[in-house]
Amino acid sequence: MSSNLSRFTLVALFCFAIPVIAVAPPGTCPAPPAILSSTQPNIFSEQQEQWLGDAMADMLERDYRPIQDPAENAYLAGIAKRLLASLPPTSIQFHVVLVDSSEVNGFSLAGGHVYLTRKLVANARSEDEIASVIAHEMGHILSHQFAIETTADLKRLLNITSVTDKADVYAKFQRLVDAQLKDKHPGPGGDTDEKQDQADVVSVYATAAAGYRPQAYSEFWNRMFFVDGKIGGRLSDFFGTTKPEEKRLRAILKLVNALPVGCGATTSSASADFLHWQSLVIANQPAAIDANVKPISEAALTPPLRMDLDRLRFSRDGKYLLAQDESSIFVLSRDPYKLLFRFDAEKALPAEFSPDSQHIVFHTPGLHTEEWSVPEQKMLASHEPIARHECIQTKLAPDGRTLFCISIRDEENGVFLDLTALDPATGEMFYQKKDFFQPTFGFLVQLAINRGALVPVDLMPSSLSADGNTLLIGPADAKLAFDLRTRATIPIGKELRSGIPGPYAFIGDDKIVGVVPSKDFKDSGVFSFPDGKRLQSLPFGLDDLESVSGGNFVLSKSLKDYAIGLADASVGKFVAASKTPSMDVWNQWMINENADGSVLLRKVGDDATPHQAAALPLSPLGPNLRLAVSPDGRLLALSARTRSGVWDLSTGKLLVLAHQFNSAVFAADNSLYAELPKVDKKDRGITRVSFAPVTSTPLPYKEDDNTRLISGMLQEWKPSGKSGVELIVHSVTDNSVLWRRTFDSGEPAHAPNVNPGMLLLSFPFKTSFAKARLKADAALAEHAANIKNKDSGRVIQALDAATGNVLHELVLEVPAAYTGVEGINIVGDQLYLTSDDNRTMVYDMATGSQLRQFFGYLAAANPASGRVCIVNRRDEALVYDAQGQQLVDFRMGSPLRFARFQSEGSSANSVPGSRLTLLTADQKIRTMEVPGQ
């Protein structure tokens, strides 16, 4: 368990309300150790330490998802209350938070913030083990480790020796974050052996005194960190071969053995209450969370924007279908063709029907697995196994009994991939193939790219047989075949193993389509399984292959101009294709996604029979959306990957549904100009949409690779001279040239402002443009001279989008945690800059000096009043005035997707920006009243 602030970042709060539980009889356990009474310098009172922890939590918790089910949280609160009764009195208010994370960890922040991951709870065997982790984190806090460390850093880096109220604590903590980023000699942080040992002492004594079994802590540590009971000794210590986790286990065992006889319980408590609570945590079903807001008006997008389906699949008997997007799985029956039910599946990898077609199983990259009954329409089981090493790719068997994990191992003689098989229910590893595959340099590069992708793909080929009982996995001659019923490997023929270096896919249960890259792909074909005899040659030159649920077909996403295609393997030709990325076939029945998001059912090659369509219910909006708002704030254009729509925000009603757009802007008359990608034979171009009545008109001028529609500006970037570039800005309405500007050193970093009408340019000091400007402008040069780290210096220019005139120019020192140019916005006479560590810095435009900081990113601004909307946690919108005073904190109960201040106040006497419109992932539009004058 750890308390290192730089590694762990979460928070959510709840109150203690648990029945009193009997503890050990008085006198059987010694008093808590004096280690809680530190003599190290600490400028924080317990109240100030609470504020310090609040600031840490506000900065860090945006990246995590607290589990907000009151019943799950209340159980943790009871454990904390029981532990506190055995510890010295304190005014620190402890809040134990359950967090949705795939890490096995417990961690803490100053001021009583304690966090446990769902993965940790799922793998505990008793309440005693949970209590030991909470007590360890309490040890970090009660020994004031965060406050002491912060005291030392404030003195060392900023020469600060005191703090006062909450605002002062926040401001000095924010200054300290900047100083620590620049610190060339940082301290050891919160994970030193001494600090962990202190917390371990508190854990063992507190759990024993509270009536828990103290041995549970060492058992949990041994199991979760795969120590295997090894504790080292003098000889291994001398030669430096004792691992840190082994030394830690040895120290914990020594503490436990030093307790007097009779101190603590002798048996662990795995009560029915604990097991029920743990099952709720593992199931991870979302609780209904009420927003803390009372909107002036509220409407829902009607009909909602359908998120793109990533997967369509028939059951193995053809009676059912599943449709999967980024947060939901929908289950339908084929005859009659209708929706049966939906369940949440956020971050789920591709789901599968079980071999008997009665269940659906899926898992997540964090190795959370679920099994759902189709006839009963409910979840049957969920599990949280742990892999010893990080999995870079996983595969769950359709029966849910086997989870395959491909992990990477870096050795002196090279980098290798290992393949292991786990039982999801027990977490036990029952198969391992070390050195399964030695990746090439290209594979490692693709792996690095894949880890940062919005939609990661499997790099290692694999395929399931149609009956779901056989898995073939691995590239080239590293292929392995498994009988998933017996969990045993299946010998495969040499030609199948080594003769197919490219992608492959099952056809039925006993045939494989395989691609052999060559000049004309003449060696690709159909092979028998498992002996690998060539049955047929197919000139397939495809980069990927995917099996269908049934039939002599395969799927591929290698087609030009199409998201996916269906090929008849008997003739080696494509017979159907779709612009949407999901499709499946079973016994001549085909399903694919329609343009409006419904699911079409039809017979392959039968155009005479009418298609059947099934509409799917609401699914939450994902974060990767493109949008535009009309100048009067009434119309919202919203686009997902394959479709878009325009809604009237006052009513929520859909005005028009269309193909996706790459970018869009509303003109002054509320007509929409949308940049559409190439569709079928229509080239990429701009279309004008009017709404009274609704008409769509493609514009005659075309875009090329150098042209981009960004924040209402049609920008054309053309090479100029040896290394320069010319920016030509066109009117999107008629393509007339508005202005030109040439940059001698290439295209500068640029981004649109949060409010349209301004283009922001950023020039590092080392660029020739910045050097010339600093030489020409004495005031800029004077401000630049005050920036010590020249690598962080920027010349920022704000251009009028209509004329190209320079509206603002200043010198700025960007924080060490800031990269790129995104996140810079100008509001009135202030510049807002959002860094990569969830902080927004506010600068004076006249001097470039920093005025203040917020936690979160700038989502909306009102130039007339200077009010800004900052989004921090997933569902939290905070509004500040131009002086940085917080006016309101809205908790919407659903992740925020869009924010905009209305152009005018709610009345003639109100301040501009007194109304804020918010769109949340549940596809609801709420208009909020912002208090303050």
Condensed to tens digits (0 to 9), the pLDDT of residues 188-240 reads: 655 677 888 888 988 999 999 999 999 999 999 889 888 888 888 887 876 67
Determine the pLDDT at residue 289. 63
Residue 456's pLDDT band, with cuts at 50, 70 and 90, is: low
Most confident of 70-79, 347-356, 443-452: 347-356
Among 330, 352, 430, 350, CA closest to 393: 350
Q: Which helix (H) or strand (E) holds 839?
A: strand 839-844
Determine the pLDDT at residue 193. 73
Determine the pLDDT at residue 713. 81
The letter for the amino acid at 72 is: E
Question: pTM value?
Answer: 0.88
First-last CA distance in the chain: 47
Residue 911's pLDDT band, with cuts at 50, 70 and 90, is: confident
Q: Which helix (H) or strand (E) holds 51?
A: helix 46-60
Determine the pLDDT at residue 15. 28
The pLDDT of residue 2 is above 70: no
Q: What is the mean pLDDT of the chain?
A: 88
The CA-based angle 768-769-770, given to 5 degrees, is 95
Structure tokens at 266: 């002798």
The pLDDT of residue 32 is above 70: no
Residue 870's pLDDT band, with cuts at 50, 70 and 90, is: very high
Average pLDDT value for residue range 323-333:
95
The pLDDT of residue 16 is above 60: no
> How far is C-alpha 107 from the geometric centre of its chain's CA atoms?
20
Determine the pLDDT at residue 832. 95
State the Cα–Cα distance between residues 645 and 689, nearest whole angstrom.
11
Percent of the chain with pLDDT over 90: 57
What region, left, alpha or beta, does residue 111 occupy, with left being phi > 0 and alpha being psi -120 to 50 degrees?
Answer: left
Percent of the chain with pLDDT over 70: 93
Average pLDDT value for residue range 846-851:
90
Q: What phi and psi, each to the nearest 5 degrees, are found at residue 68?
A: -105, 20
Residue carrying structure tokens 């591929």: 556
Cβ–Cβ < 8 Å for 252, 214: no
The letter for the amino acid at 782 is: E
Average pLDDT value for residue range 104-122:
93
Burial state string for 637-659 with b = 16 or more CB within 10 A and e = fewer than 16: bbbbbbbbbbbbbeebeebbebb
Determine the pLDDT at residue 194. 80
Among 469, 470, 392, 402, CA closest to 436: 392
More confident residue, 372 or 731: 372
Q: What phi and psi, each to the nearest 5 degrees, are found at residue 466?
A: -65, -30
Determine the pLDDT at residue 13. 24
Please write the tens of the pLDDT for every residue from 758-791: 999 999 999 999 999 999 999 999 999 999 889 9
Average pLDDT value for residue range 47-59:
95
State the Cα–Cα distance between residues 439 and 510, nearest whole angstrom.
29
Determine the pLDDT at residue 378. 96
Q: Which helix (H) or strand (E) holds 277?
A: helix 272-283
Average pLDDT value for residue range 745-749:
87
